[in-house]
Every structure is written in C-alpha cells, then in structure tokens.
Amino acid sequence: MPLLLGIFFNTMAQTAEQRQRHFNTSKHLALQGYDPVSYFDGTPQEGDEKWSHTYLGVRYHFSSAANRARFQAAPEKFEPAYGGWCAYAMGETGEKVKIDPETFKIVAGRLYLFYNFWGNNTLTDWNKNEAALKTQADLNWKKFDR
C-alpha cells in the first residue's frame, strides 16, 4: 500500500506542475485575480488575497469566503476552459493568447474567456462559429493538457 500512495502523490505533484506551466497565470494566480465563482453569478468580481485557495498548483482569489467554499466543493465546475487562455484563439490557432478577464461566456456550465483589446473582441468571432471553434479548441488544448 505505501508504494501505491507514493505513486498517487507523485502523480498529483506532476499534475500541479503541468497546470502551473500551462495555465494562464501570473505568479501562479489565475484569472488575473478575478473570482471564478463570480462569473457564474453573472458579473466577474475581483478577488481578495485573504480568500485565496490553491487547487492543484493554481491559486485563485475569491470575493468572499462563501465563494471560496463553493469553489472548494466543486473546483472543476468553476475553473476556466483551456487553462484560462482565450477560447477563440485556442480554437482558431491552438495558441495561448491573453484574455480580458471581463470578456467571458458561460456555455453548458463552463467558463470561457476571450481576448478583448484594441477594438478586437474575439467573443464576437467565437459567437459566429462557436460549435466548430469549441470542437477545435478542445482538440488543441489536449496538446497542453499532458
């Protein structure tokens, strides 16, 4: 049994390391400090360091203790698609492109984020061809999800 536990913990450490490499973070902080739960309440809110939580190597800030608790109960529900990178770019080119944390869409219970700078809002382009872009983005993300 100790060998099995060792294998389990080594796998968990590798997963956290991979996530730190591939998630859109600054100093291991996801969503530029925005509260991932707040998106599902309709309005993104900036989080506060006093309500932070690290999930598999990626740190999140929350706007309240209640939102942190909601995340801790089901983190996979609240984490952004494609590691928090621009969903449109992941579908169109397979590249990791920065996002505007206030440009987002919830699709089938999943958070998608988009680039929105200098008059280029990729959410608009995503909406024109969402199904195909999502399918391709899912495939493209797999190359980072190792």
| Residues 125-139 pLDDT 10s | 999 999 999 999 999
Residue 7 has pLDDT above 50, yes or no: no
Which of 76, 96, 123 represents a domain boundary (last residue)?
76
Question: Which of 23, 50, 76 is the last residue before a domain boundary?
Answer: 76
Q: Hey, what amino acid is at 121?
A: N
Same domain, 91 and 60: no
Residue 101 has pLDDT above 90, yes or no: yes
**C-alpha dist (Å) from residue 130 to 27, 65, 90, 107:** 31, 34, 12, 10
Regarding whether 69 and 5 lie in a shared domain, the answer is yes
Same domain, 91 and 32: no
Q: Are residues 61 and 111 in the same domain?
A: no
Given a contact cutoff of 8 angstroms between Cβ atoms, the answer to whether 115 and 98 are in contact is yes
Find the domain containing 16 and state its range. Answer: 1-76
Least confident of 3-12, 56-65, 116-125: 3-12
Both 36 and 99 in one domain: the answer is no
Give me 36's structure tokens: 């991932």
For residues 61-66, give the mean pLDDT.
Answer: 98
pLDDT tens digits, residue range 70-98? 999 999 999 999 999 999 999 999 999 99
Report the pLDDT value the prediction gives residue 26, as an integer from 0 to 100.
80
**84 and 69 part of one domain:** no
3-state SS, residue 85 = coil
Q: Do residues 44 and 103 share a domain? A: no
Residue, of 12 and 60, whose pLDDT is higher? 60
The pTM assigned to this predicted structure is 0.86
* Structural domain count, the chain: 2
Looking at the fold, whether 97 and 58 belong to one and the same domain comes out as no
Most confident of 7-11, 72-76, 141-145: 72-76
Boundary of a domain, candidates 76, 95, 113: 76
